[in-house]
Amino acid sequence: MSIQEDEIMEAKDITAIALKLFGIYLLVSVVTYTLPMLGNIRLLEYSNGDFNSTKYITIVGSFLLLGLFVSFFIFRLSNSIIANAKSSERNSAVINEEILLQIIGVYFIVSGVSELPTMAVSFFNPKHGYALLLSWLLGYLFEIAIGLYFLINPVVGAQKLNKLRARG
């Protein structure tokens, strides 16, 4: 059995699959985290006397919409990244650093955004204190910012990585 030329996956195909998988993962994570939170409103009303259900629904609903938007954005972005990607001349299976940095950036964004609903709900019942919750929130926002940087500026990110490796 020999592999035919049309059966070899190019870097663009691998990128498309990776980005779409991240989009699906984010969609499943957001729905998995936020919908049960909406179902716990009655329990939180009974356990907390000063519980504001309107504020809670607004926060959880906004994170649900944010997650759906980012998931949709990842699907749309995968098509534009693939359209702009240059195919490798010597081997079509080689993935260049810019595409890898964009995939890592999408992973950071998905990872950070999927944790935000849990963080928002934790502020309603702070077991660990607000300072610790704020530090976790800032960590997730930093993760999202790094992901956006790698997604938007993969060439600059690759240049900085080359400088760190003393190759540039």
For residue 155, give the CATH number of its domain. Answer: 1.20.120
User: What is the residue-averaged pLDDT of the chain?
Assistant: 76
Q: What pLDDT sits at residue 92?
A: 43
Is residue 2 domain-resident? no
Show Cβ contacts of residue 114 under 8 Å, excluding neighbours closer than 6 positions: 25, 26, 29, 30, 33, 67
What's the pTM?
0.62
> Taking the CA of residue 158 as centre, how many other CA atoms within 13 Å lie in the half-sphere pointing to its CB?
14
Q: Taking the CB of residue 52, how many other CB atoms lie within 10 A of it?
A: 13
Is residue 26 domain-resident? yes
Q: How many domains does the chain have?
A: 1
Q: Which domain holds residue 47?
A: 9-164
Is residue 119 domain-resident? yes
Residue 120 vs residue 27, higher pLDDT: 27
Is residue 150 domain-resident? yes
In whole angstroms, give the CA distance from residue 114 to residue 68.
Answer: 11
Q: What pLDDT sits at residue 142?
A: 92
Is residue 27 domain-resident? yes
Is residue 4 domain-resident? no
Is residue 94 domain-resident? yes
Is residue 67 domain-resident? yes
Dihedral angle computed from the Cα positions of residues 114, 107, 78 and 64, in that order, rounded to the nearest 10 degrees: 0
Per residue in 71-123, pLDDT tens?
Answer: 888 888 777 766 666 554 444 434 577 778 888 888 888 888 888 877 877 77
Closest CA to 130 of 119, 117, 114, 139: 119
Show Cβ contacts of residue 94 under 8 Å, excluding neighbours closer than 6 positions: 11, 88
